[in-house]
Amino acid sequence: MTSPPSLDPSPRGRPRSDALHAEILWAAAQLFSTQGIGGTTTRQVAAQAQTTERTLFKHFGSKEGLAQAVISEAVLPHLAPASLAGLAEAIAAYGGDLVAWHQALLRARITALQTAPELTRLLLVELVRDEGLRGRFAAQWKPAVWGPLVALFDRLQQQGLLRSDVAAGVLARRFLALNIGFLVSRLVLAPDLALDDEEEIASIAQVFFAGVSPLRG
C-alpha cells in the first residue's frame, strides 16, 4: 500500500529526517486504521516504518503524540484540504454555477479519499471511541471546514443565490450531511457496491441546490 501524496516519504528533495517522520506517520496511520490506536504498539509502528522505537519517540515524544500527529498532519489535511478556504473563488471559476461547482467538489473528494481510505476509516473509528480526540478534531475542523463553509453560504445568500429564510449554518449542516453520507457509504461502508459515481454526484448536487435555491414568490 502506498502513501497518499501528502505523506509521500520519498527522501528525494527533502531531508532524511522529514522523510523518516513521514514514514513513521504513514506506518502509524495504516496500523491504527486496521488495529485501532489502543491495539497498536509503538514497536509495531517502528517495525512497519523500518526504524526503532527510540527514533519514533524522538520524532513524536510518545504514542499519544504520534496519534495526535496522525490526526493533525495526515487525517485532517487529507479529508479537509486547505483549498476549502477558497470556496468562493472556486465557485467563480465555474461561472457561478453552483451545481457544477458542487459536482466538481465531490469528484475531487472521491479522488482524494480513494488514495487512502484507511485514513477515513481511522478517523471514523477513533471519533466514536475517543472523546478527547473528538474535542481535538473539532478544534481543528471548525476553522478549517465549518467556518469557511458557513461564510460561503452566508455570502451566497447575500448575493441572492441561495434562499435566505434558512440560516447559513443550517444550510451548511445539510450540505455536509448529504456529502459526508455519500462519501462514507461509497468509500467505507460499501466500497464494492455497484454505483455510477457520476450519476450519484450529479443527483446529489441537483437535489441539494433544488432545495436551497431562492424562493420564488
**pLDDT tens-digit series, residues 21-75:** 999 998 998 898 888 888 899 999 999 999 999 999 999 999 989 988 888 787 7
Amino acid at 151: A
Amino acid at 131: E
Residue 126 contacts residue 37 (beta carbons within 8 Å): yes
pLDDT of residue 11: 43
**Mean pLDDT computed over 83-99:** 76
**Mean pLDDT computed over 148-165:** 92
Burial degree of 72 (CB within 10 A; 0-12, 13-18, 19+): middle
**Mean pLDDT computed over 76-81:** 65
Residue 29 contacts residue 7 (beta carbons within 8 Å): yes
Burial degree of 60 (CB within 10 A; 0-12, 13-18, 19+): buried
pLDDT of residue 80: 61
Provide the 3-class DSSP secondary structure of residue 194: coil
Least confident of 69-73, 195-199, 203-207: 69-73
Q: Is it the case that residue 111 has pLDDT exceeding 90?
A: no
Distance CA 78, CA 72 (A): 10
Q: Is it the case that residue 115 has pLDDT exceeding 90?
A: no
**Mean pLDDT computed over 116-135:** 78
Q: What band does 85 get if pLDDT is binned at 50, 70 and 90?
A: low
pLDDT of residue 175: 93
pLDDT of residue 217: 57
Distance CA 86, CA 139 (A): 20
Nearest CA to 184 among 90, 88, 94, 120?
120
- Tell me the average pLDDT of the chain: 83
Q: What band does 78 get if pLDDT is binned at 50, 70 and 90?
A: low
